[in-house]
Amino acid sequence: MEWRYTGGPWFLTDSCYIMSGDSDCTRTSPSAGSPSDNEFLPDRPKYVCTLSPDLITKAREELQEKPEWRLRDVQALRDMVCKDYPSLGTCLDDAFLLRFLRARKFDYDRALQLLVNYHTCRRSWPEVFNNLKPSAIKPVLESGFVTVLPRLDPEGRHIVCIRPDRWTPSNYPITENIRAIYLTLEKLIQSEETQVNGIVILADYKGVSLSKASHFGPFVAKKVIGILQDGFPIRIKAVNIINEPRIFKGIFAIIKPFLKEKLANRFFLHGCDLNSLHQNIPPAILPEEYGGTSGKLDTSAWNELLLASEEDFQHDFSELVLPCDSSPHDMLGSGDADEKQCDDSLRGMKPQLYYCY
């Protein structure tokens, strides 16, 4: 086993671990408190829980998280990664791995698969994940396509607001919008509160035309849904769609086949009925544009926060190379076959899009 110092978080590569720190400490087994034989690791960043007592209780009840076993569980996942995917190239910090355990209710096997999927998705879609940092998607942020409302809902969840009408396709491709959404989620999931409470999505489809909808075909839909459902450690608790035109029936027809039943049941279509929206999101946390009382929608605060977080995204996992005997397609299926199948589906969906429009 070879050690190298990077000055950053712990990472896993072909030589098993790359990590920061230069003093020795023992790595403990997940099932015992004593050091493993002949295995010594440098100091890693120590995890400090920031959850309130109420959220600790919520995590115990909803996520099967036991504070007294938390670090043991993290170590168990770390050992599984090193044993089963020694060339994954992942961060191994306690706080990072804990995101995946919480997202899969501390089921080791499901958390491991989510972690593998996370990296597989990043490496298999270079148009989205290469050079992924806030400064690279500044035009999208300035357009107001995606933002986060300043106030939490009564369940302590952030509201991610997406407005497709703010996108001009001639300015940049749809993948730039996906990059902006992904970075927004990456920033939000750094918070332990978000890891436990999840998020709510508010999508305003006002003014979305057929020409815009045509950019969101089955191939893109399957990729995005795959990431949100199986490739990212976040809990999506509700998706509220408002001001959807008739064309949205065609869009949803493209999306729905890729949705698991649990997530599909969390979609709420409100049309232009603000009262219906307010039953899911209280007016007190909504901007005036959606019948709320929290003032006009201001995207500048979130833009400034995200753009100031450039250093948080300095490690580009998508550039780490898997060994020749373990490709992303081996883990999640053939990308070429999926793309061909989705292209065939798109040809079948286009008449439906025109009919709905």
**Nearest residue to 149 (alpha-carbon basis) of 162, 157, 159, 163:** 159
Per the CB < 8 A criterion, the answer to whether 289 and 296 are in contact is yes
Cα separation, 341 vs 250, whole angstroms:
18
pTM above 0.85, yes or no: no
CA distances from 183 to 80, 129, 132, 319 (A): 27, 10, 8, 17
Separation of alpha carbons 351 and 357, rounded Å: 10
Q: Which domains does the chain have, with CATH numbers?
A: 53-127 (1.10.8.20), 139-310 (3.40.525.10)
Please report, in tens digits, the pLDDT of each residue of the chain (357 residues total): 332 334 455 555 443 444 333 323 334 334 433 334 334 445 677 899 999 999 999 999 999 999 999 999 999 999 999 999 999 999 999 999 999 999 999 999 999 999 999 999 999 999 999 999 999 999 999 999 999 999 999 999 999 999 999 999 999 999 999 999 999 999 999 999 999 999 999 999 998 887 887 888 888 888 999 999 999 999 999 999 999 988 787 778 878 888 999 999 999 999 999 999 999 999 999 999 999 999 999 999 999 999 999 998 876 544 444 443 444 443 444 344 444 444 444 444 443 333 333
The four Cα atoms 293, 294, 298, 304 give a dihedral, to 10 degrees, of -170
